[in-house]
Amino acid sequence: MATLIERFLNYTGFDTQSSETTGTTPSTAKQMVFAEYLKSELESLQLEDITLDERGYLFATLPANTSRALPTVGFIAHMDTSPDMSGKDVRPRIVRAYDGGDIVLNREMDIVLSPRQFPELLDHRGEDLVVTDGTTLLGADDKAGIAEIVSAIAYLQEHPEIEHGKVRIGFNPDEEIGEGAHHFDVALFGCDWAYTMDGGEVGELEFENFNAAAAKVTFKGRNVHPGYAKGKMVNSLLVANEFAGMLPKEETPEHTEGYEGFYHLVGFQGEVEQTVVSYIIRDHDRTRFEERKACMQRWAGIINERYGEGTATLVLRDQYYNMREKIEPVMHVIDIAFEAMKEAGVEPKVKAIRGGTDGAQLSFKGLPCPNIFAGGLNFHGRYEFVPVQSMEKAMNVVVKIIELIAKKY
């Protein structure tokens, strides 16, 4: 399995952080640098139908090694890393046979990865953990997924005795800013179904996710000299705070879990004249999701009743929907993944994603696409890590899925 880990460590050397501000696809040119590198790697593996478009979508084919007509399955991962923390000059290291104690990531900066804050570490005692130096994220989200897919394809090439149909792989930009599936050409990809390798802990198998929307509320104020402001001033900062106070205090990310939805305040910028407040809205239940959006409209209306029409302007934008409604009619894609995990020695953990994946949007574009674990934990920050053994299991699951499809059809 050395090649799998070597691949992953090599990939972390590419800075592929995406950006919400550029308005381009890919959102950052450095993602295309990584895409070009991956294209050359796929060419060296002698895959077929390799395409890389101007937006950074990279597709390739492992041709079938049988004349039997089999379904075409796809495996997808994203190339970008989160805007939440730098992915430049990542310095990974492997902690061999983790002993269950604190891991000093950076002695000079006193940055420690500890099971006291991250108890999930204890589930991986005795394993080899890839960690950061505490100054960047690691990039296992989702370069671990890319490494697992490429390594699985290479493994199948090295073992021609494993019968398989046509396999498509796809690597895309900008998943971390919610745009990874926007320009994904489902028809060109040409699969019966696919899997994103973008989950976390070993065994995760996900075909439910949040319904998601973004809300931006602009509050208009009226600024006059504070010494003479009585009856005249409208402080948009205070009005925005008043609006925020209308939202249920227990329905925020820090107070919710499982299937519980939330409102999440993600931005607050302003002065007396104008304040802009940004939220994301999440709920697994579609009816409750629509109710949450209606509540935002009602609260904005209350502000306008109190301070005058036009004081609060709400803009709502749906981002993605729960893929479950698209997966339930084709549950065999879940059954195959479930069985593949069992054969790879992994206990499946079916759970709802408290977030979204490219697979959710792709499912609504006609490509059923549940999500499978890639093995990483603590994504988007300096405490991110991935067990080597988890990556090996994820790679084996990919191989087993491809193998099972040939056995079942």
Please give the positions annotated as active site: 80, 175
Structure tokens at 17: 């952080």
Residue type, 173: P
Q: Contact at 8 Å (CB) between 53 and 165? A: no
CB atoms inside a 10 Å sphere around CB 211: 24
Could you give the angle at the alpha carbon of 347 between the alpha carbons of 144 and 122, nearest 5°?
Answer: 65
Distance of CA 96 to the CA centre of its chain: 27
**How many residues does this entry show for the chain?**
409
C-alpha torsion angle, residues 160, 165, 166, 170 (rounded to 10): -90
Nearest to 380 by CA among 17, 128, 10: 17
**SS3 state of residue 309:** coil
Q: Provide the CA 328 distance to its chain's centre, in angstroms.
A: 22
Q: Residue 195 forms beta bridges with which residues?
A: 75
Q: How many C-beta atoms lie closer than 10 Å to residue 306's C-beta?
A: 11
Instruction: Kindly state the tokens that stand for 266.
Output: 């993600």
Please name every residue paired with 313 in a beta bridge, in sequence order, or none if there are none. Answer: 218
E strands, 284-365, are 312-320, 349-352
The Cα 382–Cα 391 span in angstroms is 19
